[in-house]
A and B are shown apart, each in its own frame.
Chain A
Amino acid sequence: MLGKKKTKDVVLDALWGDNPVFRQVLGICSALAVTNLVINTVVMSVAVIFTTALSSFTVSLLRKYTPRVVRMMIETLIIAFYVILFDQALKAYWPDMSRSLGPYVGLIITNCIIMGRAEAFANANPPAISFVDGFFSGAGYAIVLLAVSVVRELLGMGSILGIPMPYFSTGLWDRWIIMVMPPGAFFTLAIIVWILRSVKLAHEAKIQGAKK
């Protein structure tokens, strides 16, 4: 039975076992663009975690009252509701950040991860555990993006969160401008995916070997 998973398993699966970014490279569209600066990525990560957690919770809460035929439509509306909340709050309290994120906060609506969690988990599980699943799926995604943004900002600007780093911000380090431009995002993510997948493949091979 799918609904009987333990909380710990749910958390581990969301962060590592089924991490949407490096398992399937899903949902990077709306967020890769903001990884040029760590601070942008942090705000974007908060937005994604906020939306996945609360929309999974709401979808699960309404799962018994939602007619199956209009399920997708309702899920989209729930997700859009939370995204609008975040977008409006950001616009009101941090207009500069809202401007520099541009349309990408709104594009969280079309992020496949959120819809994916609603479909694959929240539809068949109680609200509390769905919230946990949504929260950590968002967190798993955020960790990868933060890693990308730290590498990009450090190598490209010599700083992290705008704070100059020793060595990288001095004349000894020739700043890799390419890292803050679009190709840098592709290369960094590719290398992170490569490392994580290799670790995972080696781990699986070890388990296989132990079984034999």
Chain B
Amino acid sequence: MTFGGHMIHLVVILFASVFTENILLARFLGMCSFLSVSRQVKTAVGLGFAVVFVMTFTVALDWLAFQYILQPFHLEFFRFILFIIIIAAFVQFVEMVIERYSPALYQTLGIFLPLITVNCAILGASLFMVIRDYNLAEGIAFGLGSGIGWMLAIVAMAGIREKLTTARIPAGLQGPGITLIIAGLMALAFIGFTGVLSGR
């Protein structure tokens, strides 16, 4: 493949993971924090940025670990544990660095970092990367795109939920119920992108 062709291929993976294969709306990953941290746009943006950052880097790190540690020793089944350790260690490391060098950023982003270790979207992105046999560049494009897609979904949801505080919702539907219905409508809207792009 020529250089230009390769770039286009990466851009397709990036856009497909943001829109047609949105990790939250089409793959249901990262639902827990999506349902519980989507009440305000401001916090949703903070968590979203943290996810984009962590996901892009952990997919790259996990790819290196899988390629150079697990595969040569035929320890592929060990990837669940290794990936989790890498994600936890990376998040811890980033937290320390930010706290030391940028207290302002720590105030906005830092509180979300511990939440991210248990966000299944992060581990899910790495597992998809293995299943789809991506190379490093494809993996990074996929990680970045999935992070952006997740952020897009949670920020949109937070915007809608801020408006909902004045709406009259049946008692049994309040909280998670109505959030799920909105998520369903958003997923429906995102299906509209199908056919525009395919990442595989």
Neighbouring A residues of B30 by C-beta, 8 Å: 29
Asked whether A30 lies within 8 Å of B120 as measured between CB atoms, the reply is: yes
Asked whether A187 lies within 8 Å of B184 as measured between CB atoms, the reply is: yes
| Contact sample, A vs B, 26 pairs, CB 8 Å cutoff | A25-B31, A26-B32, A28-B32, A29-B28, A29-B31, A29-B120, A102-B131, A103-B127, A103-B128, A103-B130, A103-B131, A107-B123, A107-B124, A110-B119, A182-B27, A182-B191, A184-B184, A186-B184, A190-B173, A190-B177, A190-B178, A190-B181, A193-B176, A198-B170, A201-B171, A201-B172
Asked whether B81 lies within 8 Å of A77 as measured between CB atoms, the reply is: yes
Asked whether B187 lies within 8 Å of A183 as measured between CB atoms, the reply is: yes
A80 at the interface (CB under 8 A from B): yes
Interface residues of A in 181-205 (CB under 8 A from B): 181-187, 189-190, 193-195, 197-198, 201
Contact with B along A81-97 (1 / 0, CB 8 A): 00110011000000000
Binding site for A on B (CB under 8 A): 25-32, 35, 77-81, 84, 118-121, 123-124, 127-128, 130-131, 170-173, 175-178, 180-181, 183-185, 187-188, 191
Asked whether B84 lies within 8 Å of A109 as measured between CB atoms, the reply is: yes
Which residue on chain A has the smallest CB distance to residue B181?
A190
Asked whether A197 lies within 8 Å of B180 as measured between CB atoms, the reply is: no
Asked whether B188 lies within 8 Å of A178 as measured between CB atoms, the reply is: yes
Asked whether A80 lies within 8 Å of B120 as measured between CB atoms, the reply is: no
Interface size class of A (residues with CB under 8 A): 35 or more
Selected from B27, B31, B172, B187, the residue in CB contact (under 8 A) with A195 is: B172
Q: How far is the CA of A77 from the CA of B123 in the complex (A)?
A: 15
Selected from B79, B118, B172, the residue in CB contact (under 8 A) with A112 is: B118
Q: How far is the CA of A42 from the CA of B181 in the complex (A)?
A: 25
A126 at the interface (CB under 8 A from B): no
Interface residues of A in 12-49 (CB under 8 A from B): 22, 24-30, 32-33
Q: How far is the CA of A76 from the CA of B127 in the complex (A)?
A: 17
A33: shortest Cβ distance to chain B, in Å?
4
- Majority-rule SS of A interface residues: helix
A169 at the interface (CB under 8 A from B): no
Tell whether A197 pairs with B77 under 8 Å between CB atoms, given A33-B27, A178-B188.
Answer: no
B35: shortest Cβ distance to chain A, in Å?
6
Q: How far is the CA of A53 from the CA of B30 in the complex (A)?
A: 24
Asked whether B80 lies within 8 Å of A183 as measured between CB atoms, the reply is: no
Selected from B31, B84, B131, B171, the residue in CB contact (under 8 A) with A32 is: B31
Q: How far is the CA of A195 from the CA of B172 in the complex (A)?
A: 7
- Give the most central of B25, B35, B180: most A CB within 10 Å: B180
A58 at the interface (CB under 8 A from B): no
Asked whether A88 lies within 8 Å of B131 as measured between CB atoms, the reply is: no
Contact with B along A107-150 (1 / 0, CB 8 A): 10111100100000000000000000000000000000000000
Asked whether A107 lies within 8 Å of B127 as measured between CB atoms, the reply is: yes
Q: Which 9 A-B pairs have the closest CB atoms?
A: A186-B184, A103-B127, A198-B172, A190-B180, A25-B176, A197-B172, A110-B120, A29-B31, A183-B187
